[in-house]
Amino acid sequence: MSPLTRGRADTATRAPTHEMEVYYGQRAGAGLIISEGVAISEQGYGWQGSPAMYTEEHAAAWKHITDRVHSKGSKIVMQLWHTGRQSHSSFHNGAPPVSASAIRLEIGHARTVDYSEAPYETPRELSVDDITAVVEEYRRSAELAKLAGFDGVEIHGANGYLIDQFLQSVTNHRTDRYGGSFENRARILLEVVEAIQTVWPSDRIAVRLSPNGAFGGVGAPDNADMFEYVAERLAAYGLAYLAIIDAGGFLGFHGKCRPITTFDAKKAFKGVVIANGSYTRDTAEGALRSGSSDLVAFGRLYISNPDLAERFQNDWPLNPSGPSEAYYGHRLLGKPLGYGYTDFPAFQSS
C-alpha cells in the first residue's frame, strides 16, 4: 500500500488518532504498508490534519498503529516528509515556508491552518546551517519511528516537496555546494540517508522519487539524466528499495524530457524497485513479469477497498471509487473522521 495523505490526525497535537489505527488495521492485508507522509518537524509541516513525528508523544500515539498492523501479520514503514515551499506561514506563526531557493510555486494554491485557500508564498532559501539542522530533523524523526515500532523508514524525495525541490533544477537555483551540479543537488538527500544510517540499518531505509511528475510545479529538461544519477548514487547504500512514480496518472507528466521508467531506475539502482502510479491488477502483473519492477504499490484503490489484496487474490469485484472529498474534505463538510476513510466495507459474499 502506497502513501496516502488523508488528514485524519489530531489538528491540535498532530498525533495520529484512533480512527487512523482502525484505518491502517483494515488495510493490513497489503503485507507492506508505507504510511502517509509524516512531518519530521514543525518547519516541515504543511498539511492540516496530517500527522507528525517529532516528539515522543507522537511516537507513543503511532505505537498503537504499528502494534495493530503487526498483530495482523503485516509490516509498516514510515514516510519522512518535509513539505518545503508547499507549506504556508499560518502553520509557522507567520514565518514563511522554506525551500532550496526563494522561488514561489505559481500553480494551484496552499491551504492554511484553517483550511481556507491562499496563494503560495515565496519561501525563504535555507542557509547551509539550516540544511544541517534539517538533516538532523530527519535523523531524529527516523529515531522516533524506531521507538514507535515501525519496520523502517522511507525518505519522501518526490512530488515537489523539500528534497525534490533540491533535486530539480527548476526549483534549485543555488550557487553553493547544494546547487548547480547533479552532485550538489543530490547532496541533501545523500546526507539524509547517511544520517538515518546512524539509526537504522541500510536495508530498513528507502527513498521515493518522482522524476516524471508535474505536481508541485516541478519537472525540468535535465530530469532524465539527473534522476538516473541519483539512482546510481543511491545504489551504493544497499537500501531496502527505491519507489518510482510513473509518468502520468495522479501526478501528471511534466513533458520536459523523456520519462524515466521503472526499468531505467532498476538498471541504475541495481536493487529492489517499487512501481507506483495508476496500476490495475493486470498492468501490475505485467510489470512484474517483465522484470521492470520488483513490487507494485497501490494507493487510491486502497481508499475504497480496504481488503484490496484479498480482492485481487480471489478475483472479487472492487468497490466503486470514493468521492474526491474522501481524501480530506470531511473537515470542510463537517463530517466525522471516519467519513470516506474507515466506512468502506470489506468484501462479503452474497
pLDDT for 248-276, tens place per residue? Answer: 666 778 989 899 999 999 999 999 999 99
Are 344 and 323 in contact by the 8 Å Cβ rule? The answer is no
328 catalytically annotated = no
* Whole-angstrom distance, CA of residue 161 vs CA of residue 247: 17
Residue 247: its pLDDT value, please?
63
The residue behind cell 519530521 is 40
Residue 168: its pLDDT value, please?
98
Residue 335: its pLDDT value, please?
86
Residue 291: its pLDDT value, please?
94
Residue 327: its pLDDT value, please?
73
* Whole-angstrom distance, CA of residue 325 vs CA of residue 327: 5
Q: Which segments of the chain have a pLDDT < 70? A: 247-250, 350
Residue 251: its pLDDT value, please?
74
* Whole-angstrom distance, CA of residue 166 vs CA of residue 75: 30
Residue 249: its pLDDT value, please?
66
Reduced to 3 states (helix: H, G, I; strand: E, B; else coil), residue 94 is: coil
- CA distances, 85 to each of 98, 125, 187, 330 (Å): 5, 10, 19, 25
**What is the per-residue pLDDT across 184-205, written as a single tens digit (0 to 9) for each?**
999 999 999 999 999 999 999 9
Residue 73: its pLDDT value, please?
97
Count of positions (residues) in the chain = 350
Identify the active-site residue in 24, 45, 54, 161.
161
Residue 28: its pLDDT value, please?
98
Are 208 and 245 in contact by the 8 Å Cβ rule? The answer is yes
Report the b/e string of 224-235 with b at 16+ CB within 10 A.
Answer: bebbbbbbebbe
Sign of CA dihedral 284, 289, 293, 295: positive
